[in-house]
Structure 1
Amino acid sequence: MAATHADPPTVYPTLLYGDAKAAIKQLTEAFGFAAAAVYESEDGTVLHAELTYGNGMVMLGSKGRRGVFAEAMAEGGPTGVYVRVVDTDAHHRRAVEHGVEILMPPTDQDYGSRDYLAKDAEGNVWSFGTYAPFGAGG
């Protein structure tokens, strides 16, 4: 399936967090995501959130809810997500300034990418780097 720049992404990583509000804060402040939508229940539980980065998006919500997806993911995790960035070193500095746990500092890879790895507050592994998979427009 050939994609054009006008097409929305076709893959959306989806994560559940024990403290989804804290996750949204960390992902926006430390990693530079933008909150496109956040839906909460009357008690303030995050039911669904959409965070964008470039033309990509991750969706997230709160653990402990009912429903097939929430129940299937109840014991899931951690998850790994790769995000393509323009400047790995600048992105890394931002994460460090916000106290993010860094698993690997910016490193040049044999396949031409410059990547770093970080862990969010609930143990998910986030890889940020310049790699664009074949056919991904990079």
Structure 2
Amino acid sequence: MSPDASSPSSVWPVLHYDDTGTALRFLVDVLGFVEVVAAPDEHGGIGHAELRWPGGGALVFGSTRHTDSVHGRMRAGTSAVYVVADDVDAVHQRVREAGGEILEPPHDTEFGSGARAYAFTVRDPEGNLWTFGTYRGVS
């Protein structure tokens, strides 16, 4: 059985953003994540957000203003995330329509494992790289 947006994830990438409101809108409205939790902080931003990918998996993010934990040492825009997408072209189209910065348009490629995939890469508003592709890992 394949995972879906309601399945719990055992891997949670953690990102930090300077502008958490803009990040949330980009991740949900443009990339297609599903908002599960977006708890406000004392600064009017988002202190903690949890998002799910419709094909399975999860992401957590918060504000760079919060420096009281080991994750508080993270800078915005210094991460890269790979997301398996069944419809790479649909995600690409949403990014194009939103005026997102596409670094590599959809193309056939070969990853380090030698596996073929169809993928594209976008930079989010704070510099993190997001690659969406059909490669599901070595089976």
Q: Does TM-score exceed 0.5, indicating one fold?
A: yes
Per-residue deviation, 1:10: 1.3
| Aligned pairs (5 A) from 1:24-43 | 24-43=24-43
Relative contact order, higher structure (CA 8 A, sep 6+): 2
Deviations 1:43-74 (A, max 9, x none): 4221100011122111001112231234321x
Query: Partner of 1:61 in structure 2?
Result: 62
Is the contact between residue 117 and residue 133 of structure 2 (CA under 8 Å) also seen in structure 1? yes
Code of the residue aligned with 1:60 in structure 2: it is: F
Code of the residue aligned with 1:39 in structure 2: it is: A
How many residue pairs end up in the alignment? 132
Q: Which runs of 5+ in 1 are unaligned?
A: none
Query: Partner of 1:72 in structure 2?
Result: 73
Query: Partner of 1:45 in structure 2?
Result: 45
Which of these residues, 94, 103, 115, is aligned with residue 119 of structure 2? 115
Give the alignment's Cα RMSD to 1 decimal: 2.0
Q: Which runs of 5+ in 2 are unaligned?
A: none
Distance in 2 between residues matched to 1:98 and 1:118, nearest whole Å? 12
Aligned residue for 1:50, secondary structure, equals strand
Distance in 1 between residues matched to 2:98 and 2:15, nearest whole Å? 21
Q: Percent identity?
A: 35
Deviations 1:25-45 (A, max 9, x none): 011111011111011124422
TM-score (norm 1): 0.86
Structure 1's consecutive aligned runs of 4 or more residues displaced over 3 angstroms after TM superposition are: 4-7
